[in-house]
Amino acid sequence: MGFGAFHGNLEVVRRLREMLARGHFPQAVVLAGPRGAGKFTLAQMLAKTMNCLAPRQTDGLPDFCGECSNCRRIALADDLDARLAEAVEARENLREADKRETRLFVQTHPDVMIIPPDPPQMMIKVDQVRHVIAEIYYRPSDARERVFIFTDSAFMKEAANSLLKVLEEPPEFATLFLLSENPGELLPTIRSRSIIFTLAPLPAAEMEKYLAAERRELAPKQRALVARLAGGAVGEARRFDLDAYAAARKEALLVLETAVRGDDHSALFRATEGYRAGADGKEKTDHLIRTLYGLLEDLLALKSNTPELVRNTDVAGELGRLAEAVDFEWIASAAQRLGEVESGMRRNLLRSLSLDAFAASLEPA
Ligand SMILES: [Zn+2]
């Protein structure tokens, strides 16, 4: 319980807690870092500390008890994926007209509101920010501080402009957290009104130690692989599913090999058949895209003569053959095309089609 349970980034955590201790916590904080780095966990811990009814100190800095009614109610949202799935399902069950007007929020404590990107576009929408504006000026009811946690920095344009208005004059009793994998995505005017803290990846040795304690089912070799593949992100390592990853990677390698060879698409078509619309297809496609990015990074590492940076060490043979067949320009263009597939997905274009087109677009002329 408490900040002792947060892994890594001791320095960032200490600075945030020192600001709490001095009573000078910034009103808008960007927590940046890769997926699974602990951004949400840290925001939740800070929200609990701000509002704990039995506050305590550890290492001479403010901490939360985890047991009072405020801590417990805020903690109900710790499992954000589960709460989000419930919120999405509740909306699905509404009448068509209400469904369109209902925006997603997770709120397990009246003074702590979590604003997730809204599916299917997975962006934060203007109605969500309007709701925050309607709420933020009320004093906290059961807590000392009202906390708003935006879990993603992909804002629709109008939503970003509305958020900016809040940041220009937030009430003194409110704190906003903006979680971001890529703070460059935020408007410069939003960034300049916030204080940015970046969560760095956990060093590999620390990560393996963490995995040895938390995931004993993994063999030492698998732990080393997960530590590399999770890219130093604790949350990612904790839930990393090696079997699912291996399956996605097999298809990602097929996409790349098909593109490099430039012939026989039948295997690729068979593989991409499984990537259809719907929540299931979207998750699968997201997974595939992340895996493709990872493989492209490994190819870049091989081409740059830095094989020690390769993460997919268990498929070194396949990667080596691919690396021989491509050049830097091909890798850069593949990464760019992949970005286009990703933004196409945000606009909800036909997924399997764009994956086939992705492979075709990379073929030698
Ligand atoms: Zn408490």
Distance 243 CA to ligand 1 centre (A): 39
Average pLDDT over residues 19-40: 94
Report the pLDDT averaged over residues 327-343: 88
Q: How far is the CA of 100 from the centre of ligand 1 (A)?
A: 37
Cα of 144 to ligand 1 centre, how many Å? Answer: 12
How far is the centre of ligand 1, averaged over its atoms, from the C-alpha of 288 (Å)? 40
Predicted TM-score of the model (pTM):
0.82
Distance 69 CA to ligand 1 centre (A): 7
213: CA distance to ligand 1 center in Å? 27
Distance (angstroms) between ligand 1 centre and the Cα of 107 equals: 17
- List phi, psi (to 5°) of 3: -65, -20
Q: Read off the pLDDT of residues 262-275 as tens digits, 9 standing for 90 and up.
A: 766 666 666 666 66
Question: What is the C-alpha to C-alpha distance for residues 242 and 250, in angstroms, rounded to an integer?
Answer: 12
Summarize pLDDT for 37-78 with one digit per residue, the tens: 999 999 999 999 999 999 999 999 999 999 999 999 999 999
pLDDT tens string 102-118: 889 999 999 999 999 99
| Pairing mode, strands 61-63 and 56-58 | antiparallel
Question: For 124-159, what is each residue's pLDDT tens digit?
Answer: 999 999 999 999 999 999 889 999 999 999 999 999
Neighbouring CB atoms inside 10 A of 36's CB total: 22
Question: Which residues have CB less than 5 Å away from ligand 1 (the ion)?
Answer: 52, 64-65, 68, 71
222 to 37, 217, 240: CA distances (angstroms): 20, 9, 11
Question: Per mean pLDDT, which range of 92-96, 129-133, 317-321 is the poorest?
Answer: 92-96
Backbone angles phi, psi at 338, to 5 degrees: -65, -40
Average pLDDT over the chain reads 90
Within a 13 Å sphere around the CA of 209, how many CA atoms are in the beta-carbon half?
7
DSSP percent split of the chain into helix, strand, coil, nearest 5: 60, 10, 30
- Tens-place pLDDT, residues 192-226: 999 999 999 888 888 989 999 999 999 999 999 99
Out of 80-84, 178-182, 214-218, 268-272, pick the least confident: 268-272
How many whole angstroms from 55 Cα to the centroid of ligand 1?
6
- Sequence-separated (6 or more) residues with CB below 8 Å from residue 98: none
User: Is a pLDDT exceeding 70 seen at residue 361?
Assistant: yes
Residues 6 or more apart from 207 whose CB is under 8 A from it?
A: 227, 230, 232, 234, 237
User: Per mean pLDDT, which range of 158-167, 307-316, 335-344 is the poorest?
Assistant: 335-344
What are residue 295's phi and psi, to 5 degrees?
-65, -40
pLDDT of 284: 79
